[in-house]
Amino acid sequence: MAEKFTNFSAFYAFYLTEHSNKTCRQLHFLGSTLVILCLAGFIATGAIMYLLAAPICGYGFAWIGHFVFEKNRPASFKQPLFSFMGDWVMYWQLLSGKIRFAQQDEARKA
């Protein structure tokens, strides 16, 4: 990622190109779901271990998706705030069906 984005809309278009691999998207979704469960666990029990586990779950699964399947470097290294925002926008779009879980992005294959 050579360009430094100044607005989220432009960044998110780039972000989606960095998440074209279906397994990477699935791992992102799994990690984000586990983050939500960790936060719920913390709220329900007050146990700090849930707060400690949340970033490990979220970033751990996402980074495996990037390094192993997508074969790129996570945007969170260069633009952490926009990347964090992008994670949750993509999560919602996966959940709502706007982005598909299982289909490989054809633009990336070409």
Contact 94, 33 (CB under 8 A): no
The mean pLDDT values, 10 residues at a time, for the chain of 110 residues are: 85 94 95 98 98 96 96 90 96 92 54
pLDDT for residue 76: 85
Instruction: Please name the amino acid found at residue 34.
Output: L
The confidence score (pLDDT) of residue 104 equals 60
pLDDT of residue 2: 63
What pTM was computed for the model? 0.86
**pLDDT confidence of residue 4:** 87
Return the structure tokens found at 72. 């790129």
Tokens for 98, please give them.
């706007």
Phi, psi of 33 (to 5 degrees): -65, -40
